Each structure stands twice: as structure tokens, then as C-alpha cells.
Chains A and B, each alone.
Chain A
Amino acid sequence: MTTQEALFQYTLRIADTNLILAQRISEWTGHGPFLEEDLALTNIALDITGVAKSLLEYAASIENKGRSADELAYFRNDRQFYNAQITELPNGDYARTIVRQAIVDCFDYYFYTELAKSKDETLMGIAQKSIKEVTYHLRHTSSWVERFGDGTEESHNRAQQALNELWQYTGELFEMTEVDEILIKEGIAVDLNKVKEKWENHMSELLEKSTLAKPENVFMQTGSRKGIHTEHLAFILAEMQALPRMYPDAKW
């Protein structure tokens, strides 16, 4: 694998994780539990769609085979997507949506903090920009995790259940492959072991404050680095890609 191929894969992986999560949480638009929260989640979805767009444009330019960012988003099949599986899982109730978002926001915060030191100028720039936005997201979702966890018995139980179900998908976030190995040597990619330590400390602190129990000895799901997904991804793609596939020449 060449450095260029590794960089393409790496950029695509981060792009897909943002794109699929944005698409998933956009489902709440117009259905939020109350107006301000509806707007908040929609705004978060908008920010991460923007990050996905910037990264897909960069991926397209690295690949340099004439595929555009839109073609990457709309004309790949599920096995060609590399988003972390946690992002494709259904939203469930609001506690589950928020717990998942807090898990990913927290990961993103420490991941972008490291990526902002990358020797790749585009990734560095996108990371520097994203940290500012993710800081707002993380603050928002953390405060909800606290409210749910330390709220009523009902909200506590729902948040705990979400945590128990989602935890098995957190291992994937920190998996490193040949792609990471090649790019770490070049000073481009992030050592995910470093991110993991910070993420774990932050999550432990947040969960303790929220009176929620951190799941222990959990079997971790895997696959997305190879394009293997849960059954949910194909459905989300079917919805997201239907229009451009039906009218491939449509112009806005």
C-alpha cells in the first residue's frame, strides 16, 4: 500500500463516520423532544455533515481518479463504507441517541486534538476547525447524559440500557490497521492508543458524575475497517442514496 492509498483510506474512514452519523441523527429533525433540542441536534448534524463534505472532497482529490465528493457519498455500496458501526445504529429513544452522540463527541474531541498536529495540512486544518465545533457538541451531549443519568429512575434506566447496548461498539473507534501504521510513520495519522486513554478517562468521569455504571469486560464488535457493517447501514444508504441514484444527472 502506498502512502497515497493509505491517506485516501484514512480520510475516507473519518469522512464516512461523520457522514453516516450526520445522516442518522438528522432523522430527529422535526421530531425532537422539544423545539430547542430539535434545533440543537439538527445543528450538530449540520456541523458534522460539513466536516464529512470537506473530508470527502479531500479524499476525492487524493484518489485523483475523477470521482467527486458526491460520487463518493452516493455511489458506493455498503461494503465500500468505512464508518464506525456505532454511527449506523438506529437512534432508538432520545437517551440512546444522546449517549451515542456523547461517546462519539468525546472520541472526536480527543481525536481532532491529536489530528490538529498532523503533518498533512488539510487534515490538520479540518481538525483545527472541527475541535471548536465538537467542543460545543460535547458540552451539550454531556450535560444531557448527566441529566438523564442523575434524573428520574426512568431516565437513568434508559441511559444505562443505552450505554450497555452501545459499549460493544466503542472498541472499533480505536482499531488501527496497516493504514494507520503507514501514516503514523509519516506523522500524518493519530496514534489511537493515546486517544483511547484520554477518552476512557473522560468517559469514566462523565459516567460517574451521571451515576451511570461503565460497562466492564464487554466483547467488542469489529469489522468496519474492512467495510463490514451491521444490517442497518444498507438501509440508511438506500434512503440517503435513492435520489442521486434515480436521477444521476440531477443538478441543484
Chain B
Amino acid sequence: MKTKENILSLLSEIPDPEIPVITIVELGVIREITLIDDTSIELKITPTYSGCPAMQQIEDDVRKKLQEHGFSSIKINMVFSPPWTTDWLTEEAKDKLQKYGIAPPEHTTEDKSWLSGKPKSVTCPRCKSKNTKLISQFGSTACKALYQCQECLEPFDYFKCI
């Protein structure tokens, strides 16, 4: 007899296609798991960004993983509400991002300062200096902004709050 916990740990083996140090579960895109029986399952997933090209890959990976574990009927529904937010990233995931060289989101979206265009100081993931500068709100992928450290001069990605 399979349980939701079994499924969640299975899905936790799937890395995010763009940032492979975190899993799709840590990313927070798996919203609901409904086990119908040992071969049928329904999932709700939500996109990080509307145009995130990794979503198709994530869906394919989930399907493959579940098929390998005996599921023949897999229904995946894309849901938009509540919209994905960086608040759902676990502390552990933020640590992993930091070690990978991506500065994790510095505050929650409850704190509206992210809207005003004056984000709190972002810490350089390499030398930990807070003396950093925003280069562009738009970076190498939809979820990242581009920063530069004024101390070690390295450019780095910042996982922006949304």
C-alpha cells in the first residue's frame, strides 16, 4: 500500500531542471497529491513563472518517475491559484542555493519592499559581503536577477522574491 509520504519522497528524488541542487519538492511546485489506488494518481502542480520553460521537463520527469514505480494512470493538472511564491522555498533549499552560488531570496513577499524597487541588501554568495549592486532585475532564467559584488567583484545570480 503506497502512501502520500512514499510519493513525496519519490518526487523528492527529482532535481529542478535548471537548478539541480534543489528538488522539485523543495521548490514548492507540487501542490497536491491524490492517491486513487496503487496504480492511479492525480497531482496538482503550479508553475514558478508563467513562461518557465522547465515546467514541461518537470511534468515529464514526474510522469517517468511515477511510471517506474507502478503507476499506469497519472493525471497532472496545472493550477495557478494560489500563485507560486519564493516564500515556499524551505530554509534548507535556501542554504543549498547559497552554497551553489545563487543568492537566495532575502525576504518574504509579505514584506512589500520588494515591490518598491529597493530590495534589502543582497548577500554575495561567495564572500558574504552585503556590499552588492543590482545589475538587472532580469537574469539568466525567469526566476533570477543579476547582481554584482562590490567587494570580490564577482557577478552572481539572485533568486528574486515573487
**A interface residues, Cβ below 8 angstroms from B:** 36-37, 39-40, 42-44, 46-51, 53-54, 121-122, 124-126, 128-130, 132-133, 135-136, 139-140, 143
Contacts and interface: CB of A to CB of B under 8 A. Distances in A.
16 contacts: A36-B146, A37-B136, A43-B138, A43-B139, A46-B49, A47-B49, A48-B51, A50-B47, A50-B51, A121-B81, A125-B80, A126-B80, A128-B81, A128-B82, A133-B50, A139-B115
Interface of B: 47, 49-53, 78-85, 115, 117, 135-140, 142, 146, 160, 162
Contacts of A44: 138
Nearest to A121: B81
Contacts of A122: 80
Contacts of B135: 36
A129 B50 contact: yes
A46 B135 CA distance: 20
B50 A54 contact: yes
B115 A135 contact: yes
A188 to B, nearest CB: 15
B79 to A, nearest CB: 7
A46, A130, A135, A140, most chain B CB atoms within 10 A: A46
Contacts of A49: 51
B51 A139 contact: no
A129 B51 contact: no
> A interface, by DSSP: helix, strand, loop or mixed?
helix
A47 B85 CA distance: 15
Contacts of B140: 39
A129 B80 contact: yes
B81 A51 contact: no
B138 A140 contact: yes
A133 B85 CA distance: 11
Contacts of A143: 117
B92 to A, nearest CB: 24
A50 B136 contact: no
Contacts of B117: 139, 143
Given A47-B142, A128-B82, A133 B115 contact: no
A54 B80 contact: yes
B138 A40 contact: yes
Nearest to A44: B138
Contacts of A126: 50, 80
A130 B50 contact: yes
A50 B50 contact: yes
Contacts of B146: 36, 39
B137 A128 contact: no
Contacts of B84: 129
A48 to B, nearest CB: 7
A44 B137 CA distance: 11
Given A51-B51, A122-B80, A125-B80, A133 B138 contact: no
B50 A125 contact: no
Given A132-B162, A135-B115, A39 B80 contact: no
A50 B81 contact: no
B136 A128 contact: no
B17 to A, nearest CB: 15
A125 B137 contact: no
A121 B135 CA distance: 37
Nearest to B114: A135
A40 B50 contact: no
Contacts of A42: 138
A132 B142 contact: no
Contact of A50 (B52, B85, B139, B162): B52
